[in-house]
Amino acid sequence: MSRIPKLPGAKENKPGFSNIRNITRTIGNGLSDVDKKALLLNHTKPSSTITSGTSVAAPRLKRAASANAVAPPSKAAKVERKPSVSARIPPYDYKARFNDLVEKHKVIKSELTSLNTKYIEVSDDYEKYKELADNSLKETSILKDKLQNCLRELRQITADHDSLKLDNALQKRELDDLHNKTKILEDVTNSLKIKSMENDRLELEINDLSRRHKSLQEENEAIRVLNEHLKKVSAEHEKLQEDHKCALELIKKTQTHRDALQNIIDTMYKDQRILRNTIQDLKGNIRVYCRVRPPLESETNKPLYNLHVVDACTIEIEKIELLNSARKGKSQHTFSFDGIFTPHSSQEDVFAKVSSMVQSALDGYNVCIFAYGQTGSGKTYTMEGGNGLAEYGIIPRSINMIFECMAELKEMGWELSIKASFLEIYNEVIYDLLDSSKDQESHDIKMVNSKGSELYVSNLREEEVKSSHDFIRLLIFAQRNRQTAATLNNERSSRSHSVAQVKISAINEKRKEKFTSNLNLVDLAGSESGKTTQRMGETKHINRSLSELSKVILSLQTNQSHIPYRNSKLTHLLMPSLGGNSKTLMLVNINQFDDNFNETLNSLRFATNVNSCKTTKAKKNLTLFDGF
């Protein structure tokens, strides 16, 4: 009950209100006797008293009604309208009246309870609303304050904005002013820049001009010096002119002398050539030299037969047969040739004797130099040589000599062109040693013209050589090709003839002379007999070609009308160099090994046959021509 708020204006000391409370309490606990009496008194009082009694309770009912304005009409109200029912109860009937009152009391009590409940609810709501109202009031006050603040701030901002606007307008005006000033300044700067550039240019021009001025001053000075020098030079020039006149006269005289001397030289050269060839003719156009090779370091233990050099042209060989052999006793043989090269003769010694043949080629004769002998007798060493300049053989030395003489001949008006080709004849088939391809085209020996004096080999590479170096390069290439073939074909190099051909074409415009000569440098196949079946086949070809060579030489010796050149590839190829219009030199190579005595004997006999052959006087290939 303490939570129930006191209604405004309800005071405890008010008799009406306390009465009601008392009544209520009493009704709740059962009526006391006093109450019952009071009730009876009140009840028995005239209706006006009752009315006054009810008027005491009225304010409370009114308040309840006002608190429950929307509530349905209360039972109390209904009770107030009931006097008409109680009026029907006779006044004496106290019991009925009492019951009626009890009934009414019950109704009022229940109404009071419901009113109390509602009062509590309303009080709660009141409290809530009051709190809400208080909060709202507080919030409103806060919001009001905020609004006030905002309004203040807004006023301040508006004021600031206005002042800023003003400032902005002022600054804009200032900026425009500044823009204008900047533009003016830019214009001024540009014009200043142009002026400064102009200034720089002018400075450069001034510098350039001062430099030019300086150099002109220097030139002026130099011209002055030159003028002085020129004066001296012109004096010297005049003197020199006089000297020149004298010199010209002297040159004229010398020229006449020189021409006379040149004529003498030409005549002497001609005579020299004639003499050389006369000597050659006297020596014979087929010349044979014998070269004995020394044993190599690895061969020092091999037994040797006796070899005795009788004189510069004669050797004697002797083999002492064992007493128990079929041919017991001494076997002694003497051979004479155009010269003998002992085991001590150097490559230079050999070439000194051979060089006259190379000279003949340069004089326009066909020349053939070939090395003959059994395998390992030193043919390749003699023709090609070993390592280094000192061991150069006949082939590289010949080419060196040709190029050395070329310079001399040039002074006498001769222009020479040299062409080289390298070939190999193996089993009667020609192979081009400058062609490294495996499948070479076939090579045949053909005639250049119907006379048959000049021959050529079809499909054979012929390289023009401009120097000895060019030629050596080709020679090495050919050697390598021959070695490759030899490796593929079991020592083929020993069993084939190798031919280096040098073609010399010379022309002398002044003397209207020209000639072509061939220098054939031949390393023949080993001349010994073969032992295996394959060797037998090769030997047959070698022996045939060597015997054909011997026959050709013999036919030439006996001046036969028919010379069997075409019977072998070798003789056919060497035809121009073996016939009348040629010079031939054979080097028969031998060794001194006892085992090789018989082969050596055969070689020396073959060489003796060749040596006894005398060809007719060689004819030079020189022709006269009217012009080019």
Ligand X SMILES: Nc1ncnc2c1ncn2[C@@H]1O[C@H](COP(=O)(O)OP(=O)(O)OP(=O)(O)O)[C@@H](O)[C@H]1O
> Applying CB under 6 A, which residues contact ligand X?
293-294, 296, 373, 375-381, 386, 493-494, 526, 589
Residue 341 beta carbon to ligand X: minimum distance, rounded to whole angstroms = 8
Please provide residue 558's backbone torsions phi and psi, each rounded to the nearest 5 degrees: -95, 15
DSSP state of 548: H
**Alpha carbon distance 88, 101 (integer Å):** 13
Angle between helices 15-29 and 94-283 (to 10 degrees): 90
What token pair was written down for 61?
Answer: 């009912």
Residue-wise DSSP of 442-453: P--EEESSTT-S
Does residue 398 contact residue 521 with C-beta atoms inside 8 Å? yes
Residue 377 beta carbon to ligand X: minimum distance, rounded to whole angstroms = 4
Report the residue number, 32 or 346, with the smaller CB distance to ligand X: 346
> Is 376 annotated as belonging to a binding site?
yes
Residue-wise DSSP of 425-465: EETTEEEETT---SSPPP--EEESSTT-SSEEETT---EEE
Q: Dihedral angle at the C-alpha atoms of 241, 245, 251, 254, nearest 10 degrees?
A: -140
Residue of 262, 311, 266, 269 lying closest to 290 (CA atoms): 311
* HSE (side-chain half, CA atoms, 13 Å) at 71: 21
What token pair was written down for 72?
Answer: 């349905």
Report the residue number, 376 or 396, with the smaller CB distance to ligand X: 376
**Alpha carbon distance 428, 422 (integer Å):** 16
Residue 337 beta carbon to ligand X: minimum distance, rounded to whole angstroms = 16
**Alpha carbon distance 394, 522 (integer Å):** 10
**Residue that is written with structure tokens 């070329």 in the block:** 406
Residue 538 beta carbon to ligand X: minimum distance, rounded to whole angstroms = 12
Residue 546 beta carbon to ligand X: minimum distance, rounded to whole angstroms = 13
Q: Which residue is nearest to ligand X (CB)?
A: 378
> Is 393 annotated as belonging to a binding site?
no
Report the residue number, 381 or 431, with the smaller CB distance to ligand X: 381
Report the residue number, 39 or 587, with the smaller CB distance to ligand X: 587
Residue 68, Cα to own-chain centre: how many angstroms? 111
> Is 627 annotated as belonging to a binding site?
no
Report the residue number, 363 or 528, with the smaller CB distance to ligand X: 528
**Bridge partners of 418?**
465, 504
Residue 525 beta carbon to ligand X: minimum distance, rounded to whole angstroms = 7
Residue 282 beta carbon to ligand X: minimum distance, rounded to whole angstroms = 29
Report the residue number, 287 or 492, with the smaller CB distance to ligand X: 492
> Is 379 annotated as belonging to a binding site?
yes
> Is 380 annotated as belonging to a binding site?
yes
Residue 250 beta carbon to ligand X: minimum distance, rounded to whole angstroms = 56
**Alpha carbon distance 433, 350 (integer Å):** 26
**Per-residue CA distances from 316 to 308, 331, 332, 334 (Å):** 5, 11, 7, 4
Report the residue number, 108 or 522, with the smaller CB distance to ligand X: 522
Region for residue 93 given its phi and psi (left: phi exceeds 0; alpha: psi -120 to 50; beta: otherwise): beta
**Alpha carbon distance 96, 261 (integer Å):** 202
> Is 374 annotated as belonging to a binding site?
yes
Residue 292 beta carbon to ligand X: minimum distance, rounded to whole angstroms = 8
Residue 473 beta carbon to ligand X: minimum distance, rounded to whole angstroms = 21
Report the residue number, 364 or 376, with the smaller CB distance to ligand X: 376
Residue 307 beta carbon to ligand X: minimum distance, rounded to whole angstroms = 14
**Residue 472, H or E segment:** helix 468-488
> Is 339 annotated as belonging to a binding site?
no
- Amino acid occupying residue 166: L
SS (H, E, C) 33-62: HHHHHHHHHHHHCCHHHHHHHHHHHHHHHH
Report the residue number, 11 or 531, with the smaller CB distance to ligand X: 531
Report the residue number, 542 or 563, with the smaller CB distance to ligand X: 542
**Alpha carbon distance 500, 419 (integer Å):** 11
Does residue 433 contact residue 441 with C-beta atoms inside 8 Å? no
List residues forming the annotated binding site: 373-380
List residues forming the annotated binding site for ATP: 373-380
